[in-house]
Amino acid sequence: MPGLAVNRQVREPAPRDRLGNLSHNVAVFYETDYPVEGGCPTFIPHEEAMRSKVLFRRRKLPHWDIPGATYFITTCLEGSIPAQGFAELEQYRKGLESLAKPIAIDEEAWDIQKQKMLFARFDRLIDLQPGVRHLESQKLASEVRESLYFFAGQRYDLYCYVIMPSHIHWVFRPKEEWVKEVMPDGKERSPREIILHSVNLHSARECNRLLGRKGTFWQDESYGHCVRDGGEFVRIIEYVEGNPVKAHLVESPEQWDFSSARDRKELGIPWGEPLVLE
C-alpha cells in the first residue's frame, strides 16, 4: 500500500482469537517523534517510553496517558449496551480473570491480552446486538464525522475512523507542538482527555439538537488503548476500517460512507497518512 513503510511480514494475515476477532500481539512499543517514513508512525521500545512522564488513571476502565502515544479509541452511544449485555461482559471478564497465565508471557503481557479479549467480546456485542442505533442516521453520522475532523491536523493527527450505528472507532496522535502549548506542568487533563472531551461534547450537542432531545448521548467512558508497535498500528487500522464488513453491512471497507477507507479513496490520501479535509 502506498505511504506505508512496514516490514513485509507485517502484512501477513493477522492471527485471530477463539472468537474469530483479530488479535493483537503483546509487544509493548510506543510512538515517538522520530522521523516518519511514508506516513507510518515509528515506535520506540517500552522501556524508553516509560522513562517519560506516564499517567495512569482508572475509573471503570483503565486509561494510560503517555507522551507521544498513538491512541485507539472506541466510544459508544449511551444505551448501546443493554443490561443483559453488561451482565454477559462481567461474566466473561470474571472467566478471564480465573484463567491461568501462560508460561511464555509475563504478567503485564497477560493483562494486556485479557483486556484485548474482553474488548473483542464487547465489540462483537455492540456490532451485533446494540441497544440503540442513532448513528444509522446519515445526518447524525455526518455531525460525528465533522467533529472528528474539526481539529485534525491542528491538535492531532487522525489516522483512521469508522462511525458505526451504535459506536465509533478512531486512531489519533496528539500533535507535539499543540501539546507543548496546552500542557504546562500541573495541567489536570491530559491531551488525550482534552481531545476526547472536545469531540464528544461537540458531537453530542449537535446530535441531540437533531434528535430534538437533551441528555446523555455518549457513554460516560471510552475504551482506550495505546498502539504499541508498527504491526499493531497496521492491524488496528484494518480492524477499524473492516468493522462494517465484519458486521455484514457492506462487502468492502470503501463502501461504508462514514469511514477513513472511503475518505482516503475519495480524497486520494495514501494509506497510513494522517487524514485532513481540504
pLDDT at 11 over 80: no
Using the structure block, give the residue that is written with the C-alpha cell 503517555: 66
Winning range, highest mean pLDDT, from 3-17, 107-121, 165-179: 165-179
Q: Quote the pLDDT of residue 150.
A: 96
Helices (H), 100-137: 107-128
Are the beta carbons of 235 and 9 closer than 8 angstroms? Answer: no
Give the three-state DSSP class for 179.
helix
Are the beta carbons of 92 and 243 closer than 8 angstroms? Answer: no
Domain count, the chain: 1
Strand partners, 218: 77
Q: Quote the pLDDT of residue 102.
A: 87
Q: Quote the pLDDT of residue 259.
A: 97
In a domain, 11, yes or no: no
Using the structure block, give the residue that is written with the C-alpha cell 492471527: 15
202: domain range?
A: 25-80+130-267
Are the beta carbons of 219 and 131 closer than 8 angstroms? Answer: no
In a domain, 93, yes or no: no
Q: 23-35 pLDDT, tens per residue? A: 332 222 233 333 3
Q: Quote the pLDDT of residue 174.
A: 94
Which pTM value belongs to this model? 0.71
Which CA distances in Å does 181 have to 155, 158, 190, 274?
Answer: 10, 19, 12, 21
Percent share of the chain, pLDDT over 70: 69
Q: Quote the pLDDT of residue 73.
A: 94
C-alpha cell at 158: 487522525
In a domain, 206, yes or no: yes
In a domain, 228, yes or no: yes
Q: 50-81 pLDDT, tens per residue? A: 444 444 444 444 546 677 889 999 999 998 77
Residue 97 is which amino acid? E
Percent share of the chain, pLDDT over 90: 41
In a domain, 113, yes or no: no
Q: Residue 38: pLDDT band by 50, 70, 90 thresholds?
A: very low
The more confident residue out of 5 and 150 is 150
Q: 228-275 pLDDT, tens per residue? A: 888 889 999 999 999 999 889 999 999 999 999 999 999 999 988 999
Which CA distances in Å does 96 have to 56, 64, 111, 139, 147?
Answer: 22, 21, 10, 39, 36
In a domain, 235, yes or no: yes
Q: Residue 167: pLDDT band by 50, 70, 90 thresholds?
A: very high
Give Cβ neighbours of residue 104 (< 8 Å, ≥ 6 apart). none
The mean pLDDT value for 123-133 works out to 72
Helices (H), the chain: 46-49, 83-97, 107-128, 138-150, 176-182, 191-211, 230-241, 243-246, 260-267
Q: Quote the pLDDT of residue 233.
A: 92
DSSP state of 14: P
C-alpha cell at 82: 443493554
The mean pLDDT value for 123-152 works out to 88
In a domain, 75, yes or no: yes
In a domain, 112, yes or no: no
Q: 98-126 pLDDT, tens per residue? A: 888 888 888 878 887 887 777 677 677 66
Q: How many angstroms separate the CA atoms of 191 and 34, rounded?
A: 19
Backbone angles phi, psi at 145, to 5 degrees: -60, -45
Q: What is the CATH number of the domain that holds 241?
A: 3.30.70.1290
Phi-psi sector, 251: left (phi>0), alpha (psi -120 to 50), beta: alpha
Winning range, highest mean pLDDT, from 4-8, 113-117, 191-195: 191-195
The more confident residue out of 96 and 156 is 156
Q: Quote the pLDDT of residue 59.
A: 44
Q: Quote the pLDDT of residue 6.
A: 34
